[in-house]
Amino acid sequence: MTTIAEALAGLATRPCGSQDEAAALRMRTYALDTLAVTLGGTVSPSSAVLARTVLGACGKAEATVMAAGRVTSAWDAALANGAFAHALELDDDHRIAVLHPGAVVVPAALAAAEAANATGLTFLRALLMGYEVACRLGEVFRGSQFYHGMHPTALCGVFGAAVAAGVAMGLDRDAMVRAFGVAGTQAAGLTEWRADGSWIKRLHPGKAAHSGVLAARLAREGFTGPATIFEGDNGFFNAFSYGEKIDPLAMTRGLGSDWRALGTALKPYPCCRFEHGAIDLAIEAKESGIAAADIDEAAVRIYRTDVLSYHHEPRNPVDAQFNVPYGVAVALVRGKVSLADFTDAAIRDEPVLAVSRRVNVVEDDEYSAKYPVDYWVELKLRLRGGVERRFFSECPSGDPDAPQYRGDPAKLHAEAERKAASLLAECGFGERAAALSECVAGLGDAADVHPLAAILGAPARQTNAAARRSPS
């Protein structure tokens, strides 16, 4: 009987047909978004510590560390770039899988592709397979790992990183099966960052990317890993389900034709994806002419995730990124939410906090039952004079399943281009935006990824000013 790892390895190593190539080319949207977010993330203080640590023990020159002007071993480059990718809370997210595939998969694939001199199309196919495996595995659990202190991006992402690195390196089917087995035993990542706003969450994608590249390289050399790593008695499903209901068939249902990777969403706001629907509604309210000063009370009805916080004054910038009253208040006051809203100074801004204190949040049982297929959110505003206004969202902006993208598939890529240009300008890399976009657009025909790495790897020139605007 074919194991799940064997089925996934078969898909990852099959000849690339026209449908596979078309799906791989669509990954350019996610490549552009994640690479821009990663480069922008290098200005975060947490990224400076990571880069200093990795480059202080620099390994074999194989792959680029972004904005450092340095190369190191492929796994260490993946470690650094993966942590950079998650530093701003702007990296892509899959709604049903409830994880961030790009921050893990893109750094692993890029490092492995650069080291292996892989073509641009091979890099894109590595992304497709990495996203596909990570997202399918996330859909098995649908966020339930959060209820037990575990971070799905870290746990599931390591498998996506392994297959992405394996595709970039040209592993055969048997080696790919071994890589899954080696990757699975390295899965880890705790959500205790919520206790004090520390940086461990940012490390998770980097460590998963590092572990994935290591798994692929060990497998290439013959190191063994169990083919039953997913469904075995002591495998991943049993280890990380904690008695919650899971859907193991999500790993193989429609495999090779229903590309779950392409359901990944782009994040418009640098904060937890679960509060984006509420922020969308607050911006809608602001744009409808409602002034923050006229709001007596704001009530948010939302689904349960065990990730968000609902107190009225954020304790630190990381806490603010997961705090619904604060995010909604920022949107109601300013009509937008940006990196500048998640600094030590910004989270103490009294006009915003005055509104945040009037925002109350309730987890709704009906909405929770629909999560994570539907992200239902309601915002009710009681205005001066007793007037009430109600706003409702089924799916946040940036998600391919949101209504605004259904009739215009190109709209998501256009948003990725605008986001990349704006973010890179804000973080001091504006002069690279056009070149990055052009290089990503040409990946399907590129002989290798070295020109892309050169754009990303050049040392930063304006990091001091940019760092002051980034979250701590």
Mean pLDDT, the chain, rounded, equals 95
Say if residue 364 is in the same domain as residue 441. no
| Band of pLDDT at residue 471, cut at 50, 70 and 90 | low
Whether residue 280 lies inside any domain: the answer is yes
Whether residue 398 lies inside any domain: the answer is no
pLDDT at 145: 97
Instruction: Flag whether pLDDT at 22 surpasses 50.
Output: yes
What is the mean predicted confidence (pLDDT) over 430-457?
98
pLDDT at 448: 98
3 state DSSP class of 198: coil
Say if residue 151 is in the same domain as residue 288. no
Say if residue 366 is in the same domain as residue 439. no
Q: Is 118 exposed, middle or buried (0-12, 13-18, 19+ CB in 10 A)?
A: buried
| CA 34/CA 105 separation, integer angstroms | 10
Q: Which of 393, 418, 443 delimits the end of a domain?
A: 393
Say if residue 225 is in the same domain as residue 279. no
- For 409, the domain range is 4-267+404-469
pLDDT at 85: 98
Say if residue 40 is in the same domain as residue 150. yes
What is the mean predicted confidence (pLDDT) over 437-441?
98
Whether residue 295 lies inside any domain: the answer is yes
Q: Which of 337, 358, 393 delimits the end of a domain?
A: 393
- Domain of 286, CATH number, reads 3.30.1330.120
> For 99-131, how does the pLDDT look when each residue is reduced to its tens digit (9 = 90+)?
999 999 999 999 999 999 999 999 999 999 999
pLDDT at 277: 98
> For 269-315, how does the pLDDT look when each residue is reduced to its tens digit (9 = 90+)?
999 999 999 999 999 999 999 999 999 999 999 999 999 999 999 99
Strands 295-302 and 264-265: unpaired
| CA 72/CA 100 separation, integer angstroms | 25
| CA 152/CA 149 separation, integer angstroms | 10
Say if residue 382 is in the same domain as residue 418. no
- Domain of 462, CATH number, reads 1.10.4100.10
pLDDT at 470: 56
| CA 267/CA 127 separation, integer angstroms | 18
Containing 380, the helix (H) or strand (E) segment is: strand 377-383
pLDDT at 460: 85
Say if residue 378 is in the same domain as residue 420. no
Say if residue 306 is in the same domain as residue 447. no
What is the mean predicted confidence (pLDDT) over 358-386?
97
pLDDT at 461: 77
- The amino acid that residue 164 corresponds to is A
What is the mean predicted confidence (pLDDT) over 359-371?
97
Instruction: Flag whether pLDDT at 468 surpasses 60.
Output: no
Q: Which of 372, 393, 414 delimits the end of a domain?
A: 393
Of 299, 324, 307, the C-alpha closest to 378 is 299
Instruction: Flag whether pLDDT at 462 surpasses 90.
Output: no
Q: Which two tokens stand for residue 93?
A: 């997210």
Say if residue 175 is in the same domain as residue 124. yes
Say if residue 191 is in the same domain as residue 259. yes
> For 143-164, how does the pLDDT look when each residue is reduced to its tens digit (9 = 90+)?
999 999 999 999 999 999 999 9
Whether residue 399 lies inside any domain: the answer is no
> For 26-79, how does the pLDDT look when each residue is reduced to its tens digit (9 = 90+)?
999 999 999 999 999 999 999 999 999 999 988 899 999 999 999 999 999 999
Instruction: Flag whether pLDDT at 264 surpasses 50.
Output: yes
Instruction: Flag whether pLDDT at 465 surpasses 60.
Output: no
| CA 328/CA 130 separation, integer angstroms | 34
Say if residue 45 is in the same domain as residue 113. yes
Whether residue 62 lies inside any domain: the answer is yes
Count Cβ atoms below 10 Å from residue 117 Cβ, excluding itself: 12
> What does DSSP assign to residue 361?
E
Instruction: Flag whether pLDDT at 329 surpasses 70.
Output: yes
pLDDT at 472: 61
Whether residue 434 lies inside any domain: the answer is yes
| CA 170/CA 352 separation, integer angstroms | 52
pLDDT at 467: 44
Whether residue 196 lies inside any domain: the answer is yes
Say if residue 437 is in the same domain as residue 327. no
Per DSSP (E only), the strands in 275-364 are: 295-302, 359-363
The domain tally of the chain equals: 2
Whether residue 236 lies inside any domain: the answer is yes
